[in-house]
Amino acid sequence: MQKAKIAPSILSADFSNLESEVRAVEKAGANMLHIDVMDGHFVDNITFGPSLVRSIRSKTTLPFDVHLMIDPVQMYIKDFAEAGADIISIHLEIKDDLFKAIELIHSLGKKAGIAVNPDTETNKILPFIDIIDQIIIMSVYPGFAGQSFIEGTISKVKEIKDLIRGREIDIEVDGGVSPLCSQDCIDAGCDILVAGSSIFNTDSYELSIKEIIGF
């Protein structure tokens, strides 16, 4: 059976105990840490910036999967790279120059990803498939944790899998992921599942992770 990686989103963690939350998901089997950055402009919510990324960098060896829901983005990329991001994803829908941003991410030695909103046509990703390392398929409208998984995501994963034609690009599904939909995502070709509330809002992170990605 195909297995996916799991990237807990710290957006649903207890911020007053962030160090122990990060250590707890690492111990529970997380493969990377998903960090949601929001600017109150591209999305209707504000979260955190590079200083938070820097402050937890020394607390874990997990790769940092930084999801930037911000526009403009170029002026902040270096800060996130220096703060400890390993993968930096930007949104396909921003007005800022995506090609320049991706080039900058790579020039800093980091992996680059593009996130695609639920209402964005999948073929808009085509101009970028030879220069990116990851595609985040949003399974909720970006901005908040705890929303319901949008069912149409499964067919989108299959479409994008076809579009990339075997290229080495990780497909990540982000938003509302729970054991109810995770297997369908994996069967459709998803490599990484992001999960916030379905891990951090439970009593056993280890059990929740196993229930999402399989025992």
> Residues interacting with Zn ion, by CB under 5 A?
36, 67, 174
Q: Does 177 bind ligand DX5 (CB under 6 A)?
A: yes
Q: For residues 33-92, which are near ligand DX5 according to CB under 6 A? A: 34, 36, 67
**Quick check: is 71 catalytic?**
no
Options 196, 209, 212, 213; binder of ligand DX5; rule CB under 6 A: 196
The DSSP line for 161-180 is HHHHTT-S-EEEEESS--TT
Stretch that binds ligand DX5, among 105-113, 152-160, 189-197, 202-210 (CB under 6 A): 189-197
Q: Nearest approach, Cβ of 128 to ligand DX5 (angstroms)?
A: 19
- CA torsion, ordered 48, 53, 56, 62, to nearest 10 deg: 120
For 78, residues 6+ apart whose C-beta sits below 8 A from its C-beta are 104, 108
- Residue pair 211/179 in contact (Cβ under 8 Å)? The answer is yes
107 alpha-carbon distance from chain centroid? 21
Crossing angle between the packed helical segments 50-57 and 74-83, to the nearest 10 degrees: 10
Q: Is the peptide bond before 72 cis (omega within 30 degrees of 0)?
A: yes
Residue 172 contacts ligand DX5 per CB under 6 A: no
Contact flag: residue 142 with ligand DX5 (CB under 6 A): yes
In this chain, which of 176, 191, 192, 208 binds ligand DX5, going by CB under 6 A? 176
Active site residue 130: no
For residue 26, what are its two tokens?
């690492």
**What residue ranges bind ligand DX5 (CB under 6 A)?**
9, 11-12, 34, 36, 67, 140, 142-143, 145-147, 174-177, 194-198
Indicate which residues carry an active-site annotation. 36, 174
